[in-house]
Structure 1
Amino acid sequence: MEKFEVNILGCGSALPTIRHFASSQVINIREKLFMIDCGEGTQMQLRRSNLKFTRLNHIFISHLHGDHCFGLIGMLSTFDLLGRIAPIHIYAYKDLETQLKPQLNYFCKGMSYKVEFHHIDPNKTEVIYEDRSVSVTTIPLKHRVPTCGFLFQEKKTPDHIKRDMIDYYEIPIAYINTIKNGGDYTLPDGRVISHEELTTPSNEPRSYAYCSDTIYYKKITEQIKGVTLLYHEATLANEDLARAKEVFHTTAGQAGKIAKIAKVKQLVIGHFSARYQDESLLLEEAKAVFPNTILASENLKIIL
C-alpha cells in the first residue's frame, strides 16, 4: 500500500504554551508533502519530524489567525537560505498575499525561488489541487474570520492482476493495462473472460479531513462522510460550551458528535486551549460520543 501519513507538528490553540506548538501538519502522500497551516515554530517541528524540506511544495492555510500562519515568513526565509529553487505554492484566502508579499519583499528580497499564491474562497466547496494520486477540496467552516478545512482524497488505483490467470489464458502483455482498469478480455475462440476473474480489487482509497477552527457545524458532516481520518478541533471541554460558542470553537463532545454523524473511521482531536494542563479530560468527553478517538500531540505520525 502506498504511503498516506498525517504528521502533527503542532496542536495548540492561540495562546502559546510550553506544552504545545501552534497549528501545523504535514500530510505525506506517496512521498509528496503537503502542509496544512504554519503557526510559530513550524520550521523547528519540521526538522524534528525528519521530513524532507525539498518534498514540501504545497501549503494550505485554513484562515488568517496568527496561530495558523505566523510561522510562514520564517519558514519561507529559511528555504531561501537553504538555496531552494523549486517554487512553493500557497493556497489561502486572498488577504494572505496582500499581507505576506510586503514581508517577503522586505526580508527575503532576491529569493532563490518563487512563492506562488492561489486564492481560495472559504465559503465554497471546490477542488483547489489535484494530481494523479490525490485531490484537495475545501470544506467551508464557521469561525470569526473566513475559514475552511481541507479534504484530501486519494484516487483509486487500478485493480491487481492475477498473474496465474494471465498465464493460464495466455493473455498478451499489451492487454494488461486495459484489464487492470476494468476491461474484460476476449479469447480467440470468442469466450469473454471477465475483469473480475482476472483481477483482485485494489485497496479502498483513503481520505483525510482537517477541520479547524470552527464552531460546531453539522453541515460539514455530509462532505466528510466516511473519511478514513478526521482531525477536528476540540479547543474546550463540554463545561465551557458557552465560551466555545462565544469564540466560535468546538468542545470535545461536539467534535465526537461530528465524527459520529459523519460515520468517519477515526477521529483525532486537537487545537487544545492553554487552560487545560491535561487533555485526557477532552479525550474522555470525545470518546464518550465517538470511541475511536485519539489525542493529537506534537510529532505524532498517523498512518492511514
Structure 2
Amino acid sequence: MQLTVLGCHAATPRTLANPTSQTLEIKGHLFLIDCGEGTQVQLRKSKLKFSRIKHIFISHLHGDHFFGLPGLVSTFRLLGREKELHVYGPKGIKEAITMLLKLGDSWTNYPLYFHELTSKESTVVFEDDKVKVSTIPLNHRIYTNGFLFQEKEAERKLNIEAVASYEIDKCYYQKIKNGKDIILDSGAIVPNKELTFNPPKPKSYAFCSDTVFEPSIVPIIKGVDALYHEATFLDSEAELATKTKHSTAKQAATIAKQANVGALVLGHYSTRYKSTNLFKQEAEEVFTPVLLGEDGKAFDF
C-alpha cells in the first residue's frame, strides 16, 4: 500500500506548495484522492501513469480540492483515453465538470461516470473482490466526506509440505486456499489450518480532508494502518480553526490516538507558518508516529 502526496497545502497554489491531491496504490488499483490545481504536473513529476487512474474521489467542492479535475478530464481525452473513468464526489460535481465540457465543445471520447454523494452516513461507494471504499462524513463549511480504503482479506497460503504429506491432488488446492477442510479417501478430515498459513493482515487507509475536530469519525477509522488528517493550523490558532471549520495538528493527533491508528500523516498546512516541522512537533505531544506530508513524497505502509 503506497501513498503518494501530490499536494498537501491549504488554499491557493504557491511556487513550492500545491493544494490537496494524492494517489493511493492498493491491490492493483491507483486511486486519485482530491484533485487540486497542478495535479497533472505533480502526477508527471511522480512518474505516475495517467492511464492507471480509473477512480477519482473528491472530498468536497472547495476549489483547492477539485479545480484540477476539469483539466485532468480534458487531458485524458487528448491522450486518446478509451477506458472508463469514475468520479465520486458531492452532488453538483457532475454539473460543474460537464458545464465546462459543454461550453468548450470538448466532450470526452471515453465513458465518464459521476457518482454523486449526498448521504451524511458512512456509505460504501466502491467495491470489488480486493478493495472496499467507504465515505467518512466530515464537518466542514460545506458537505464534505473523507474516504476509507480497506483491503479485503486475501485467500489463505498453501503449506506445500503439509499438502504433499497428505498426497492431496492439485485439483483441491483452490478449495484449500478458500479455507475449506479436506476429506481424505480414508474418510479422515484434515483441518484447513494444518494445510495453510494465515494470509497477510489486510491494510487500510483513511483520508480525512477539511474538517473541524470531529470525534464521531473515530469508530469508522478505528485501527487503520495509516490516517491522513488535515492540520491547517497550530494550537495557537485553535479559535480560528473552529471558526473556519478546520483542525489543528494537536486535534489531528488526538483523533489518531483515539482511533489507535498505525501512523498519522499530516497535511493541508496553512502557509502562514515558517516550517511544517512545527506541526509535527505539536502532534507528537499527543501521538506517534507522525509523518509530515510533503508534495511529491511517497509513503509505503
- Compute the TM-score of the two structures, normalised by the length of structure 1: 0.97
Matched residues, percent identical?
A: 44
The Cα shift of 1:122 comes to 4.8
Q: Secondary structure at the match of 2:87?
A: strand
Q: Distance in 1 between matches of 2:279 and 2:24?
A: 24
Matched, 1:137 2:142: no
Instruction: List runs of 5+ in structure 1 lacking aligned partners.
Output: none
Matched, 1:123 2:124: no
Q: Secondary structure at the match of 2:22?
A: strand
The Cα shift of 1:188 comes to 1.6
Letter in 1 for 2:37: E
Matched, 1:183 2:175: no
Determine the structure 2 residue equivalent to 1:278: 275
The Cα shift of 1:108 comes to 5.1
Change (3 A) 1:108 1:234: farther
Task: Say which of 154, 158, 163 aligns to 1:157.
Answer: 154
Determine the structure 1 residue equivalent to 2:74: 77
Determine the structure 1 residue equivalent to 2:261: 264
Matched, 1:208 2:190: no
Q: Secondary structure at the match of 1:175?
A: helix
Alignment of 1:25-40 (within 5 A): 25-40=22-37
Letter in 2 for 1:184: D
Determine the structure 1 residue equivalent to 2:247: 250
Q: Distance in 2 between matches of 1:234 and 1:164?
A: 51
Matched, 1:146 2:143: yes
Do the aligned partners of 1:122 and 1:141 also contact (CA within 8 Å) in 2? no
Matched, 1:93 2:90: yes
Task: Say which of 231, 234, 239 aligns to 2:236.
Answer: 239
The Cα shift of 1:172 comes to 1.1
The Cα shift of 1:303 comes to 1.2
Instruction: List runs of 5+ in structure 2 lacking aligned partners.
Output: none
Alignment of 1:40-55 (within 5 A): 40-55=37-52
Determine the structure 1 residue equivalent to 2:168: 171
The Cα shift of 1:107 comes to 2.4
Q: Distance in 2 between matches of 1:76 and 1:276?
A: 34
Structure 1's consecutive aligned runs of 4 or more residues displaced over 3 angstroms after TM superposition are none
Instruction: Give aligned pairs, total.
Output: 301
- Compute the TM-score of the two structures, normalised by the length of structure 2: 0.98
Letter in 2 for 1:221: V
Change (3 A) 1:256 1:108: farther
Q: Distance in 2 between matches of 1:190 and 1:237?
A: 67
